[in-house]
Structure 1
Amino acid sequence: MRKALVIVSALLLVAFAVQFVLAAVGGFTRPAGEDAYALHSLNGMAVIPILTVLTALFAALAKAPGRLIALAILPIGLVVLQPLIAMLAEASTDASGVSTPLGLTIGGLHALNGIIAVHVVVGVHRGARKLAGPVPADAGVAVRETEPA
């Protein structure tokens, strides 16, 4: 279970890195239509939540220390918060649908929350690697013992 925790937490880090790339794709898509952020939404509302729950589950199954389990659970709340922040930012437009300073500030919190979530997942991954123990120097190398002559 400890190796599974290392693997799934690494996959979660990759998914977060991809999420930032997909946000940039949405931001640079021209013309910016309704589907500019479709991949960002799919990754953020399906892949990342699934990997986040799996990370927390594997931390518990690996009998990780309570602090590491709590750290693994924390991104679930941060991930749930993300679409709420985005909806609040979208709702903070003026009557003609133009962004307001308040809406833009709230939108910035969406990015900040994502950065915090990544930071937490880095801590989880480091803790998972430490829990799994050091990799032996001869890992993956078959050593054949011979009898003394």
Structure 2
Amino acid sequence: MRKALVIVTAVLLVAFVLQFVFAAVGAFTKPAGEGAYALHSVTGMAVIPVLTLLTALLAVLAKAPGRLVGLAVLPLGLVILQALIAMLAEASTDASGTSTAFGLTIGGLHALNGIIAVHVVVGVHRAARKLADPALAGVALVTVREGEPA
């Protein structure tokens, strides 16, 4: 289970990296139609939450410490916050639908929250690797064969 946890946290980290790429694709798509951010939306609202829940489940099954289980769940809360930030930024336009300074500031928080989420996932991945590798956790496994000095 611990090796599976390491693998899933690595996949989750890749999904977050791709999320930034998909945001850039949306930002640079010309003309920017409704589908410009489709990959960004699907990854953020479906792929990342599923991987986060799978990470938390594997952390529990791997008998990870409570702190690691809590950190494994945290990206889900940050994704929910991302959606709320995006909705608030979209709603903060003037009467003609033009962005306002307030809306753009809130939009900037969307990027900042994404960076924070990546840092959390990096921490979860590091902790999972440490949990999976007894040498990193300070436990040395020694194999002694019959006839050899211990």
1:129-140 matches, within 5 Å, as: 129-133=129-133
Q: Where in structure 1 do 4 or more consecutive aligned residues deviate above 6 Å?
A: none
1:74-119 CA distance string (max 9 Å, x none) = 1110011111110000000000000000000000111111100000
In 2, the alpha carbon distance for the partners of 1:57 and 1:78 equals: 18
Q: Which residue of 1 aligns with 2:67?
A: 67
Q: Which residue of 2 aligns with 1:15?
A: 15
In 2, the alpha carbon distance for the partners of 1:113 and 1:98 equals: 23
The residue type equivalent to 2:95 in the other structure is: A
1:1-149 matches, within 5 Å, as: 1-133=1-133
In 2, the alpha carbon distance for the partners of 1:9 and 1:79 equals: 16
SS in 2 for 1:8: helix
SS in 2 for 1:97: coil
In 2, the alpha carbon distance for the partners of 1:133 and 1:100 equals: 50
Give me the TM-score of the superposition, normalised by structure 2: 0.88
Percent identical pairs in the alignment equals 81
The residue type equivalent to 1:53 in the other structure is: L
SS in 1 for 2:98: coil
Task: Compute the displacement of 1:34 (Å).
Answer: 1.1
In 1, the alpha carbon distance for the partners of 2:38 and 2:134 equals: 40
CA RMSD, 1 decimal = 1.0
SS in 2 for 1:35: helix
Give me the TM-score of the superposition, normalised by structure 1: 0.88
Residues matched between the structures, number: 135
Structure 1 residue runs of 5 or longer lacking an equivalent are 136-149
The residue type equivalent to 2:131 in the other structure is: L
Task: Compute the displacement of 1:134 (Å).
Answer: 5.4
1:28-78 CA distance string (max 9 Å, x none) = 000011111011101111111100111111111111011111111111100
